[in-house]
Amino acid sequence: MTGVPPASAVGGEAPTDLASGVRSVLVGGIVVSAVLLIVGVLLWASVGFDDATLTAPVGPVAPGSLDAWAADLVYGGLVILVATPIARVAYATRTFARLGDRTYAAVTAMVLALLVLTVILGYLR
Amino acid sequence: MATIAILGIVVPLAVALVLLLVIAVGAGALGSLLGLGGGLVLVPAIVVLFGIDIHFAIAASLVSVIATSSGAATSRAEPGYVNLRLAMFLETATAAGGLAGALVAVTVLAARSDVLELAFVAVVGVAAVYMFVGRERDIRRGVPAHPLAVRLGLVGEIPRPFAGGNERYGVIHPWSGLGVSGLAGVASGLFGIGGGLIKVPAMNALMNVPMRVATATSTLMIGVTAAAGALVYLIVGDVGLLVAAPTALGTLAGSRWGARARDRIPVRQLKPLFAAVIVAAAVSLLAQALGVLP
């Protein structure tokens, strides 16, 4: 294959520290969210799921109660879970910028901008 | 004590949560083994068994897709095969598609759950056909990489299992791949699936990416794709805490087990089983949409 530059790493030319950094961000996010979800659901179960429904929307159930604590923990776990891949993109943007790779800093910044736009459009809906 | 009716049988809510967890473990394991995500099973199961509106099921499924994607990073089975630059290039399209799909679902189709259910049945039909006719395509050797792929550094290498050393693959058709990825994103936001069903064959057959690289790269990408959709559902309040939590935890556990077991289980023989499961789930959903089921 003429004209093809040598790949510095298996599965693409991403720098090794980027790959391991991405992995660390994802592992950190998944562990924190799993802990919050497990503790939240178990706490909720311990008070008997009074007045709870499967489709209870996000946010506190009854402010100040143990259910509310549990609901907040579960909500926090879900938010962190959703934020984990977004944090991965932000980490990649920072790393590419630090490495002086302006092309991929721009590509990942574009993905980040789309996710911010998602939040804006979601609220405007 | 809170209760819920499952197919007309009233049970304590805690029992429903355990059942949801078990279903999610199974969906995550099967999806991970076959590289197809568990949303195709989860969405119909949640709607039909628990009588929940499909919007809540889609939201829970999107959260579980993120769990599958991020959880795969904690497995040592696949990360070496991920083409990070290819993932980030295609994510520009999948994130936009995921946003568009989710916005359509919560606006135009906000009150048309029946339309979403029927469209989901069609998607499952396509997935079932793919299970039977989908074939892994060998990379085309000697094909020069597209100039854009060269400029973006999308070219990668994959270990040769028998000959030793690494084999380079040249990525072609990057613009078409971007377009197909956008469609996969729309499907993800609309139906709560990861979109690997569309992206993996496209990367393999269209872009000349080895199947194992395509699967691992798609698994990483679906996290960002699903995050775009999940953000919309979170903001509009369509994420049910007690649906999403056990679904995410179960899928995470199942997908991690599936990733580790992939090399020990005859995956090819599982395809008819998975096809049968998703067809049964889709038929149930169709019956529900047509009012045959309560």
What band does A10 get if pLDDT is binned at 50, 70 and 90? very low
- Distance from the Cα of B272 to chain A's closest Cα (Å) equals 30
d(CA B176, CA B202): 9
Residue of B nearest to A48 (CA): B1
Nearest CB to A111 within list B50, B70, B92: B92
Q: Which positions of chain B have pLDDT values less than 70?
A: 1, 35-37, 73-80, 134-137, 161-164, 267, 293-294
Does B153 sit within 8 Å of A13, measured CB to CB? yes
Q: Is residue A102 part of a domain?
A: yes
Does B249 sit within 8 Å of A37, measured CB to CB? yes
Q: Does A43 touch chain B (CB under 8 A)?
A: no
Q: Determine the residue among B241, B242, B251 to mutate to test chain A binding: the one whose Cβ has the most chain A Cβ atoms within 10 Å.
A: B241
Does A82 sit within 8 Å of B231, measured CB to CB? yes
Enumerate residues 220 to 279 of chain B having a beta carbon within 8 A of any beta carbon in chain A. Answer: 223-224, 226-228, 230-232, 234-246, 248-249, 252
The first and second tokens of residue B284, run together, are: 């149930």
**Please, which residues bridge with residue B167 across strands?**
B158
Contacts of A84 in chain B (CB under 8 A): 66, 70, 223, 227
d(CA B185, CA B228): 9
Domain interval for residue A45:
13-124
The first and second tokens of residue B101, run together, are: 């799909």
pLDDT in tens, A75-121: 999 999 999 999 999 999 999 999 888 999 999 999 999 998 888 88
pLDDT for the residue B96: 92
Of B76 and A3, the structure prediction assigns the larger pLDDT to: B76
Q: Is residue A2 part of a domain?
A: no
Residue of A nearest to B149 (CA): A4
Q: Is residue A80 part of a domain?
A: yes
Q: Is residue A28 part of a domain?
A: yes
What band does A32 get if pLDDT is binned at 50, 70 and 90? very high
Q: Is residue A1 part of a domain?
A: no
Residue B170 falls in which region: left (phi positive, over 0), alpha (psi -120 to 50) or beta: beta
Does A3 sit within 8 Å of B246, measured CB to CB? no
Q: Over chain A, what is the mean pLDDT? A: 80
Q: Quote the distance between the C-alpha of residue A98 and its chain's center.
A: 22
- Distance from the Cα of B293 to chain A's closest Cα (Å) equals 20
Question: How many CB atoms sit inside 10 A of residue B20's CB?
Answer: 26
Q: Does B86 touch chain A (CB under 8 A)?
A: yes
DSSP string over A63-80: TTSHHHHHHHHHHHHHHH
Task: Return the amino acid letter for B59.
Answer: A
Q: Is the pLDDT of residue A56 over 80?
A: no
pLDDT for the residue B6: 80
Nearest to A34 by CA among B43, B61, B68: B68
What band does A38 get if pLDDT is binned at 50, 70 and 90? very high
**Please, which residues bridge with residue A12 across strands?**
A9
Nearest CB to B2 within list A7, A10, A49: A49
Residue of A nearest to B81 (CA): A11
Q: Determine the residue among B48, B61, B66, B70 to mutate to test chain A binding: the one whose Cβ has the most chain A Cβ atoms within 10 Å.
A: B70
CB B55 within 8 A of CB B236: no
Q: Determine the residue among A81, A88, A116 to mutate to test chain B binding: the one whose Cβ has the most chain B Cβ atoms within 10 Å.
A: A81
CB A40 within 8 A of CB A73: yes
Chain A, chain B: beta-carbon pairs less than 8 Å apart: 245
Q: Does A79 touch chain B (CB under 8 A)?
A: yes
Q: Is residue A4 part of a domain?
A: no
Does B63 sit within 8 Å of A104, measured CB to CB? no
DSSP string over B261-290: HTTTS-HHHHHHHHHHHHHHHHHHHHHHHT
Question: How many structural domains compose chain A?
Answer: 1
CB B186 within 8 A of CB B98: yes
Does A92 sit within 8 Å of B228, measured CB to CB? no
The number of helix segments (H) and strand segments (E) in chain A equals 3, 0
Q: Is residue A109 part of a domain?
A: yes
d(CA B96, CA B129): 27
Q: Is residue A19 part of a domain?
A: yes
Nearest CB to B234 within list A71, A82, A121: A82
